[in-house]
Structure 1
Amino acid sequence: MSSEINKGPVVGMRHVQALLIFLHITIVFIGRLNVGVSLVAMTNAETTIPDFPLREYDWTEAQKSYVISSFFWGYISKQFMGGYLCKRYGAKRVMFWSVFGSRVCSTLTPLFIGFGEWKAYCAIRVIMGLAQGVIFPCIHQHLARWSLPAERSRLGALSYSGCECGNMSAMFLSGMIAKSSLGWHGISYVSAGVAFFWCALWFILAADNPTKSRFVGEREFLYIESSLEHTEMYHETTIPIPWRAICTSAPFLGFLVTRCCGMWGLSTLQAQIPAQMNGVLDMDMKSTAFFSALPFLAMWVMSYVYLIAVDILLAGNCLSLTTLRKTFNSIAFWIPCATLIGIGFLGLDQKSLAIALMTISVGVNSDATIGSSLNPIDLSPNHAGILTGIVNTTVSVVTIVTPLVVGLVVEDGTNRSEWQIIFIIAAVLLFLGNCVYLCFGTAVTQPWDSEDYLKLKDSELATKPAINGATNGTHKDTMETQTS
């Protein structure tokens, strides 16, 4: 007798959850990264519509760098809390209020700037960072509870391709809005409106896990349950967090260093491309918007190319998951090393080559999603939200420091040699970060992910003294016998 393996529907609620997360990340990144385009429009009115009745602000490069980094001043403080909140209240509720709150701040941004200029802009972005700080720990926890091990790379990459879509939209759409009759005010209003629409979709369709979904079919539910029955979502009690094991885990610490180095390179490209193109390459707002978005369009397209490649390689058993992640991460980190250095040495007469190298740098970097971004779910499905909270807290320090370093080094936005230093620093960190991942990275689930890990450790510690005591006692008796 043979039985048919239940593989669930081809497209089910787990795919809907991935789509909602994709839209969620897209919206979050639009609100986070449109500041680069906004600052160009606010401080250089000639790049927008001539004689448009919006005030132009005379802010220094250092002040603009404070505005760019201020989001992460608030963002960094909520990472640990994000992992805790999604465990206590569920990812659905936490993610809803996070997006809703940050978009209210976006709506109020033009009003705040009118009263307090760059300092008020920093303040409202700090609040936005506080609201969004809980998001990515919740996303990892949500994916861990909906994605099967066999589909984790696929659904995770589909979800995280929202980063590339958000990057592209932030650059391109923000530039188009700033150039339109809405002006830079419209950047905040449009992104807020789209986010409120997503909140409605999320409220109706999202669920913390399959057991709480009103729309999941019985066949898909049984398929997910049979594959994830060992995880925390099927336990009544919360699995204790093995803090000591996590903080001394070489694979996790290696992953942490890798993500910090990768984020330095990516944040340099995300936040500084509009300023570098406007200053060094002398492009106006419309050109800056299009060519700033082009690399992230390539990044978005390449994320699906990599996704198909992963499916083919895993289906054919060509590579283990660990080898696959290291290979893809090497491509994502090491190719931009060369292109970033090349970008820094190009001038006004080499605009096309500069744009091509930027497109290659950012497009290839999308491989990092499959290469390392999803690694917390590999290392520990039960504690993926906690691991992501730790990583994002540390990475947020990098995203704070990166624009501040740019503000210190780049005193004149048109000075090519100063931008060369910025790109060389990013290239060196990308190279070293991947070296660490090659040495210590793995996609194997760690022993401390087990529900019984702390219980076993406690029993071992309790047993050792007894064993030592028994041994010492026997040895003492033997010595006394020999002496007598």
Structure 2
Amino acid sequence: MGVENVDYHSIAEKNSKDSQPTPAAPKGFGARHVQALILFISITGMFSMRAQLSVTMVAMTSSNISDAIDLCNDVDKENYVNNGSSVDHNKTEDNKTTAKELYIGNCTDHQKTILSTWSPYRTYKWNKSTQEMILFSFFVGYTSMTFPMGIIAQKYGGKLPILVALAVNGVVSLLTPWIPIFTGWIGVCVCRLLQGLTQAALFPSIHTILGKWAPICERGRLSTYIYSGSQFGTILIFQVSGVLAGNPTFGWPSIFWLCGCVSLCCFCLVAWLGAASPQDCASISSEELLYIMGDGIADLSSKKRKTPWKQILASTAVWGSVVSHIGSAMGYILVLVQTPTYMSKVLNVDIKRNGLYSSLPYLAMYVMTLFFGWLSDMIRAKNIMSIRNIRRTANTIGMVVSGVFLVVFGFVQSTGLAVVMLIISVGLHSGVHVGFHINQIDLAPNYAGPLMGMGNMMANLMSLLVPVMVTNIIQDDTNQRRWQILFIIIAVIQIVSNLLFVIFVKAEVQDWNYYGDDDIDAEKHPLKERSTSLFEEKDTSNGKAKNES
């Protein structure tokens, strides 16, 4: 049984003089690590779902029955000529039907299934504009709900929104291969829209949970460990989808079915072991609870706080983080969604190698995310650099240096060198995870969810300009010069947004983090007194439970 109805105030840690010494970290694998692992697995599943269509779209639209007929017409025509007949199958619709029947007659059973009108394995003839609408319908739903989801996470805790997202995404993914058979591309857009609407809760909910669970001395490691699931999920889906889509037995629908099953398994895991805050966790020890409370900046009580929107909107530090979030999101979404197309059309990479090459940069990003998290905590622990300068430096690496390598990626001709440039660019972009991304928790752990919701909404709203840019700049997918222009524009956006972050960033907890406290002086109460009463109540509740049993 978790601790219930405990109302105490957090300690204002405005400077080192007022702060209480943080208790030593408990040894071993604690409850906070279990929560981090659960969130890592969940975000891995969600990002697999988010990125799956980037590679799957190539397989879904690589051929269709009409193209198969056109391709086999010449073969059938040659066969007729060799057999003493001379029939042109392209003259009439009847002859096209004859060609189709002859082609299907020579197909294997699996190929016949693929060519069947009612088969989920069939492919579709969608033009570039339609494909872009399908790909970005997810981000339309995601953008429209990310701000409300931040408020919901703040009010109800982070666990419930994550459960809803996992359940909806799992069911929708399982049904997606059959949807276009009956509704066409519009139905696929609706499916992706639903997934985006519910996945909008992911980041605000995780930020809310981190604000409760992550001690400040472990914030870099825990947050980057959890959010590295976004790269890990992308790596997995690029690898697996390339293999499955290129396999004649499984085909592209199996990608959706696999992701759907994984999402529902994650739902069960979060429902069973997930906890929105330490007080809701049945297995947390008193020692670990004291350690988490030791930072004293996050309110672990069950009381509901009003969000200080006036103070938030007036904060230049918040807006610096938001602007950087916008630049980062535009660059990340461009690379995530358009890289497979660039690899296929400009570098002429086949679908199997495309999945491998597209996943390698995210493997680098996964490793570098963990490295940046460890490095930032180490630098802070040894007082080598202030938290503010850590955020500035990491963000600059993730935005400016990464943007430069993205531009170089667009100019090289060699496939191998291009992949190396992309790996470096995406890998270094992970610096933002200990830059603006974690800075939202630095500013106000009690309102990390709404801050992430607001920043994520604006970032993804501006990211909707990316498909517009792609459509207007890239009329021909094979024109490398057009891609170069696009990459340069994105790099400039990242550089400018990082400059604003460097100017306005702050790392200390803001006064409005404690908005709504009735007794600000209570924040100065000794940690020991508060923790003792808390543990006494926990022991009392456990004793009552034993007596009842």
1:100 maps to a residue whose letter is A
Q: CA deviation at 1:278?
A: 0.4
Question: 1:282-431 alignment to 2 at 5 Å?
Answer: 282-347=348-413, 350-431=414-495
Q: Determine helix, strand or coil for the equivalent of 1:281.
A: coil
User: 1:428 & 1:453 partners in 2: Cα distance?
Assistant: 43
Verify: 1:121 aligned to 2:196, yes or no: no
Paired residues of 1:232 and 1:239 also in contact (CA < 8 A) = no
CA distance in 2, matches of 1:453, 1:255: 26
Partner residue of 2:198 out of 105, 125, 131:
131
Could you tell me which residue of structure 1 aligns to residue 46 of structure 2?
28
- C-alpha contact 2:217 2:377 (8 A) present in aligned 1: no
Shift of 1:453: 7.7
For the 8 Å contact 2:23–2:291, the answer to whether it is kept is no
Q: Does 1:164 align with 2:231?
A: yes
- What is the aligned-residue RMSD (CA, Å)? 2.1
| Alignment size in residue pairs | 448
CA contact (8 A) 2:308 2:515 kept: no
TM-score using structure 2 length = 0.78
- The separation in 2 between residues aligned to 1:37 and 1:74, in whole angstroms, is 20
Are the aligned partners of 1:303 and 1:367 in contact in 2 as well (CA < 8 Å)? Answer: yes
The CA distance in 2 between the partners of 1:87 and 1:411, in whole Å, is 43
The 3-state SS of whatever aligns with 1:233 is: coil
Instruction: Indicate yes or no: 2:219 matched with 1:152.
Output: yes
Asked if the contact 2:406/2:421 (under 8 Å) is kept, the reply is yes
| Structure 1 residue matching 2:496: 3-state secondary structure | helix
Q: Distance in 2 between matches of 1:71 and 1:357?
A: 28
* Contact residue 264 and residue 399 of structure 1 kept, 8 A: yes
Which residue number corresponds to residue 19 of structure 1? 37
Contact 1:62 1:404 in 2 (8 A): no
Q: Deviations over 1:206-232 (max 9, x none)?
A: 11111111111222122223434x533
Distance 2:354 2:488 in 1: 22
Contact preservation (8 Å) 2:221, 2:370: no
The aligned counterpart of 1:255 is 321
Residue 227 of structure 1 aligns to a residue whose secondary structure is: coil
AA matched with 1:448: W
Residue 238 of structure 1 aligns with an amino acid whose one-letter code is K
What pairs with 1:76-225 in structure 2 (closer than 5 Å)? 76-180=143-247, 181-225=249-293
Deviates more, 1:390-399 or 1:217-226: 217-226
8 Å Cα contact 1:6-1:219 kept in structure 2: no
Q: Which residue does 1:239 correspond to in 2?
A: 305
Question: How far did 1:6 drift?
Answer: 4.3
8 A Cα contact 2:169 2:263, kept in partner:
no
8 Å Cα contact 1:66-1:404 kept in structure 2? no
User: What SS does structure 1 have at the residue aligned with 2:252?
Assistant: helix
Cα contact 1:232–1:238 (8 A) shared by 2: no
* 1:436 maps to which of 500, 504, 510: 500
**Structure 1 CA distance, aligned partners of 2:404 and 2:345?**
22
SS at match of 1:232: coil
Distance 2:128 2:349 in 1: 18
SS class of match (2:295): helix
Counterparts of residues 52-67 of structure 1 (less than 5 Å): 53=114, 54-67=121-134
Q: Structure 1 residue 4: deviation in Å?
A: 11
For structure 2, the residue ranges without an aligned partner over 5 or more in a row are 1-20, 65-107, 115-120, 521-549
Distance 2:268 2:303 in 1: 31
Q: How far did residue 305 of structure 1 move?
A: 2.1
| Greater gyration radius | 2
User: What's the CA shift for 1:5?
Assistant: 4.4
Gaps of 5+ in 1: 457-484
User: Is 1:70–1:400's contact at 8 Å kept on the other side of the alignment?
Assistant: no
Q: Deviations over 1:233-272 (max 9, x none)?
A: 22x5322211111111100001101110111111111111
CA 1:225 to 1:186, structure 2 compared with 1: closer, same or farther past 3 Å?
same
How far the C-alpha of 1:413 sits from its partner, in A, is: 1.1
The answer for the alignment partner of 1:272 in structure 2 is 338
CA distance in 1, matches of 2:407, 2:153: 41
| Residue pair 1:302, 1:366 contacting (<8 A) in 2 also | yes
Deviation of the 1:23 alpha carbon = 1.0
Following the alignment from structure 1 to structure 2, what is the Cα–Cα distance between the partners of residues 293 and 6? Answer: 39
Q: Secondary structure in 2 aligned to 1:340?
A: helix
Q: What amino acid is the match of 2:412? A: L
Return the alpha-carbon distance in structure 1 between the equivalents of residues 230 and 37 of structure 2. Answer: 13
Decide whether aligned partners of structure 1 residues 197 and 454 sit closer, same or farther in structure 2, where only a CA change above 3 A counts.
Answer: same
| Cα distance in structure 1, aligned partners of 2:228 and 2:329 | 16
Deviation string, structure 1 residues 174-229 (Cα, Å, up to 9, x no partner)? 1112122211101100011111111111111111111111111222122223434x
Partner secondary structure for residue 494 of structure 2: helix
- Paired position in structure 1 for 2:71: none
* Residues 278-318 of structure 1, C-alpha deviations (whole Å, 9 max, x = no match): 00011110010000101111111111222232232122110
For 1:129 and 1:304, how far apart are their aligned partners in 2? 27
The structure with the greater share of residues assigned to helix is: 1
In terms of mean alpha carbon deviation, does 243-252 or 170-179 score higher? Answer: 170-179
Question: CA, structure 1 residues 5+345, in 2 after alignment: closer, same or farther (shift >3 Å)?
Answer: closer
Identity of aligned residues (%): 32
Shift of 1:455: 9.7
TM-score (normalised: structure 1) = 0.88
**1:388-442 alpha-carbon deviations (Å, 9 max, x no partner):** 1111111121332212321222122111122112111111111111111111112
1:138 & 1:73 partners in 2: Cα distance? 19
Aligned mates of 2:228, 2:23 — CA distance in 1? 30
